[in-house]
Amino acid sequence: MITYNKRTHIFRLETEHTTYAFRALRGKRAEHLYYGKKCGRILPMPQLPLNYGFSPNDADTDFLHSHDFTFAEYPGYGAGDFRSPAVRILGKSGTGVTDFRFVGHRIYDGRPVLEGLPFPRGTTDCQTLEICLKDSLNGCKAFLSYTVYPAFDIITRSVTLENAGRSAITVEQPASLSFELPGRDYEQITLAGSYHTDRFNLERHPLGQGTHRMISRRGASGHQLNPFFALVSPETEEKTGDVYAFNFVYSGGFTNTVEITPHGATRVQIAADDENFAWLLEKGEKLTLPEAVMLYTNRGLGEMRHQMHAFIDTCILPPLPEGTAPLVLNTWEGTWFSIDEEKLLHYADAAKGTGIDTLVMDDGWFGARIGDDAGLGDWFVNRNKFPEGLAHTVRCVKERGLKFGIWIEPEMVNPDSDLYRAHPEYALTVPGKEPALSRKQLVLDMGNTAVIDYLKKSLSETFAGCDIAYFKWDFNRHICDAYSHVLPAKRQRETKFRFMRGTYALLDWLRKTWPNAILETCSGGGGRYDLGMMVYGHQIWTSDNTNPGDRIRIQSASLLAYPARTMSCHVANGENVCEGNPRTMRFRYAVAAAGALGYEFNLALCSDEVVKTVKAQVAEYKTYAHLMQSGRYDEYLSPFTSPLYAYAYLSDDRREILLTALADKADTGRYTVYPDADERLSYRDTLSGKVYNGKELRRGLTLCPDGKDEWSMMLHLMAV
């Protein structure tokens, strides 16, 4: 899988269908050679036949050898390569000039542990190459790790920088991944948004010469741009074409760079945080950066999805304690902040017998939290709302046959809170500047261990004696005024990275303290829909936008990069979410059944008819929920290009298929989809009883929306 050829100095990293190669000679710069379809012999890059004037060359070479147009594995700054650097180091010279040369390598079975950061689990067949580079000018070593996951066609990369010199250095925006692809005719696919209810709009566009940066400066991955991106050939479609896909196991800000270079190549880089990120390394100190994930396939977007989903499912997401996702009733959209014990128990009474298994008490249960202007940080139960304490309420919910879940937002504080009054220095605020509020709250300095200790203590005390089956961990603003009151000025640019490491430490503690509880992460919905959060949380509240028409697109885009079981999808109140255009319960359900199903309205105020419908839907969902959790997702019609969205979840042996088609606007088109059924089998649709022949399904199934404002169709096909 990973080999080193002593004669040619070429490292080859191989997955089942791909090869990644670079050449590294002691004392020279590591030179990237190839990434793509598995191939035989790899040759060093030929010398360019042209004299690219103005491209500097080292004294011992001629103008045909320039660091400015060779493919680099970890390019420095200001030493002859004018393209985007992987890192810039400020050392004794004060110049920022950085130039890494190869020192040595090791290859081992398994994968490294990234101290303080989330990372994918290893598999029995994964292997790692670590190369050591040294920048002698600044005395900095870079350890580049490449872990190969053969079955998923995935290679992950991380970097540790070490100050191996005598004086302090500052590393500026170090990349976790950097390499080059030949050619420049790629289109870029990104998942973009504008605010918390508008996210995951799929964009695809060609790139011209120059440096294209996708940045989150928010201290969070954000709704505005997801860390996932792909570079594809212009002709790439669902089943054919080249795809290079990238992602980042990190939840803070990020900078994804794609540079179309002057010499017709494409440089790709992934780095944590933004251009302000810098880290001071005293003599002997190390800094480990988050892990980046990359995948190549020449079998189109569909294969990219299958491999990414399988990798995330196997190596990133925690296994579900009971094997299946909880079926949740959440109080937020039905009750907002005005939750109390009486109302909660009405919810529990109404849910009893519907098949819903977990009642989640959302925001509003703690401190002085009667609106969004107070209480965050005060993690003790509000006795006016829960006079007999939280443990009593939890017991009452359990007596009604339901598990209990609870909402928290540990990283935040309201200025109007006991915590802030006692410890204003716990919040990120710049001395001498009025802090900017967002949702009337400030962000805690999670890099300060006193803050983490406070949170551990108050959460443990509050939940002592409570049987908590589910946490919803929210994060409702982004980070500005990133000043830590416990760091010296020379370390302030580390604050946002330290914040993320503190958050991860608390997430890790929560998971270890309540090992059997489900963790749903959330950030005004999917504002931290990333692989970092997925290492800790079983699922993510997909979006605060519960309008099924919008959700169709949000969910299809989420599924481009992340498996279905990450999507927490609730049937919401039709009136609430679809102003003037309430959708039927069936349509809202058919949309939500794509992920981990839940309900988000006050069931206690609903008619018997609605409660009966919920019960029937839950029973139906349970017959095929396992397909959503572990089946393969195939997309037939994209809601971004077609009025009808059509997809299926298929079991590995293709004996079971859940096929769904959804149109959120009146449409009378005729569409043909080609399910990957087994042609030797016949299938019975458990919902209608109708029998379908596998061969005929493969030849095409025609779908005809009926011209009404909404249309949905679900087939649950079981081999007979």
Label residues 381-415 b or e (16+ Cβ within 10 Å = b).
bbeebbeebbbebbebbbeeebbbbbbbbbbbbbb
Tokens of 5: 């050829």
Distance from C-alpha of 492 to C-alpha of 445, rounded to nearest angstrom: 12
In the complex with ligand DGJ, the residue whose CB is nearer, 316 or 522, is 522
Is residue 381 within 8 Å of residue 444, measured between CB atoms?
no
Residues forming a β-bridge with 358: 328, 403
If binding is defined by CB under 6 A, does position 537 make contact with ligand DGJ? no
If binding is defined by CB under 6 A, does position 541 make contact with ligand DGJ? yes
Which one is catalytic: 273, 363, 544, 667?
A: 544
Residue type, 147: T
Q: Which residue has the tokens 């005390």?
A: 461
Pick the binder of ligand DGJ from 214, 220, 522, 533 (CB under 6 A).
Answer: 522
Residue 330 beta carbon to ligand DGJ: minimum distance, rounded to whole angstroms: 7
Residue list 268-297, contact with ligand DGJ (CB under 6 A): none
Tokens of 687: 């919902």
Using Cβ positions, the residue closest to ligand DGJ within the complex turns out to be 363
Q: Which residue has the tokens 């002997």?
A: 284
Binding-site residue total for ligand DGJ (CB under 6 A)?
A: 11
**Given the rule CB under 6 A, which of 40-48, 256-264, 521-529, 603-611 is the region that contacts ligand DGJ?**
521-529
In the complex with ligand DGJ, the residue whose CB is nearer, 415 or 525, is 525
- 3-state SS assignment for residue 512: helix
Is residue 414 within 8 Å of residue 374, measured between CB atoms?
yes
Is residue 481 within 8 Å of residue 222, measured between CB atoms?
no
In order of 170, 304, 529, 634, the CA distances from 199 in angstroms are 35, 21, 10, 22
Which one is catalytic: 68, 474, 530, 550?
A: 474
Residue 604 beta carbon to ligand DGJ: minimum distance, rounded to whole angstroms: 19
**Given the rule CB under 6 A, which of 172-180, 262-270, 520-528, 574-582 is the region that contacts ligand DGJ?**
520-528
In the complex with ligand DGJ, the residue whose CB is nearer, 15 or 521, is 521
Phi/psi at 153 (nearest 5 deg)? 55, 40
Is residue 564 within 8 Å of residue 593, measured between CB atoms?
no
Q: Give the residue ranges of DSSP H helices in 258-403.
A: 300-311, 332-335, 341-351, 390-399
In the complex with ligand DGJ, the residue whose CB is nearer, 157 or 570, is 570
**Given the rule CB under 6 A, which of 103-111, 425-433, 517-525, 602-610 is the region that contacts ligand DGJ?**
517-525
Residue 701 beta carbon to ligand DGJ: minimum distance, rounded to whole angstroms: 36
In the complex with ligand DGJ, the residue whose CB is nearer, 363 or 550, is 363
In the complex with ligand DGJ, the residue whose CB is nearer, 269 or 542, is 542
If binding is defined by CB under 6 A, does position 76 make contact with ligand DGJ? no
Residue 196 beta carbon to ligand DGJ: minimum distance, rounded to whole angstroms: 7
Pick the binder of ligand DGJ from 332, 497, 562, 636 (CB under 6 A).
Answer: 332
In whole angstroms, what separates CA 130 from the centre of its chain?
25
Phi/psi at 343 (nearest 5 deg)? -65, -40
Residue 557 beta carbon to ligand DGJ: minimum distance, rounded to whole angstroms: 18
Q: Give the residue ranges of DSSP H helices in 90-161.
A: none
Nearest 10 degrees: Cα torsion 24, 27, 29, 32: 0
Distance from C-alpha of 179 to C-alpha of 31, rounded to nearest angstrom: 9
Pick the binder of ligand DGJ from 73, 341, 362, 634 (CB under 6 A).
Answer: 362
If binding is defined by CB under 6 A, does position 476 make contact with ligand DGJ? yes
Residues forming a β-bridge with 125: none
Pick the binder of ligand DGJ from 363, 550, 620, 667 (CB under 6 A).
Answer: 363
In the complex with ligand DGJ, the residue whose CB is nearer, 315 or 390, is 390
In the complex with ligand DGJ, the residue whose CB is nearer, 499 or 541, is 541
If binding is defined by CB under 6 A, does position 544 make contact with ligand DGJ? yes
Pick the binder of ligand DGJ from 525, 598, 639, 675 (CB under 6 A).
Answer: 525
Residue type, 114: L
Residue 613 beta carbon to ligand DGJ: minimum distance, rounded to whole angstroms: 23
Distance from C-alpha of 704 to C-alpha of 711, rounded to nearest angstrom: 9
**Given the rule CB under 6 A, which of 3-11, 201-209, 522-530, 591-599 is the region that contacts ligand DGJ?**
522-530
Q: What count of Cα atoms within 13 Å lies in the side-chain half-sphere of residue 146?
A: 30
Is residue 205 classed exposed, middle or buried when 0-12, 13-18 and 19+ CB atoms within 10 A define those classes? exposed
If binding is defined by CB under 6 A, does position 68 make contact with ligand DGJ? no
Pick the binder of ligand DGJ from 68, 273, 357, 474 (CB under 6 A).
Answer: 474
Residue 566 beta carbon to ligand DGJ: minimum distance, rounded to whole angstroms: 15
Nearest 10 degrees: Cα torsion 408, 413, 416, 421: 120
In the complex with ligand DGJ, the residue whose CB is nearer, 313 or 362, is 362
**Given the rule CB under 6 A, which of 150-158, 232-240, 448-456, 518-526 is the region that contacts ligand DGJ?**
518-526
In the complex with ligand DGJ, the residue whose CB is nearer, 54 or 195, is 195
If binding is defined by CB under 6 A, does position 524 make contact with ligand DGJ? yes
If binding is defined by CB under 6 A, does position 366 make contact with ligand DGJ? no
Residue 337 beta carbon to ligand DGJ: minimum distance, rounded to whole angstroms: 8
Residue 522 beta carbon to ligand DGJ: minimum distance, rounded to whole angstroms: 5
In the complex with ligand DGJ, the residue whose CB is nearer, 332 or 420, is 332
Q: In 173-309, at which residue ranges do the beta strands (DSSP E only) sit?
A: 175-182, 187-192, 201-206, 210-216, 225-232, 243-248, 254-260, 265-272, 278-281, 286-288, 292-297
Distance from C-alpha of 112 to C-alpha of 146, rounded to nearest angstrom: 9
If binding is defined by CB under 6 A, does position 135 make contact with ligand DGJ? no
In order of 22, 110, 148, 594, the CA distances from 294 in angstroms are 16, 18, 10, 26
Phi/psi at 38 (nearest 5 deg)? -50, 135
Is residue 230 within 8 Å of residue 243, measured between CB atoms?
yes
**Given the rule CB under 6 A, which of 30-38, 216-224, 297-305, 519-527 is the region that contacts ligand DGJ?**
519-527
Pick the binder of ligand DGJ from 246, 379, 407, 536 (CB under 6 A).
Answer: 407
Cβ count near 373 (within 10 Å): 16
* 357 is known as an active-site residue: no
* 474 is known as an active-site residue: yes
Catalytic residue set: 474, 544
Interface ranges with ligand DGJ (CB under 6 A): 332, 362-363, 407, 474, 476, 522, 524-525, 541, 544
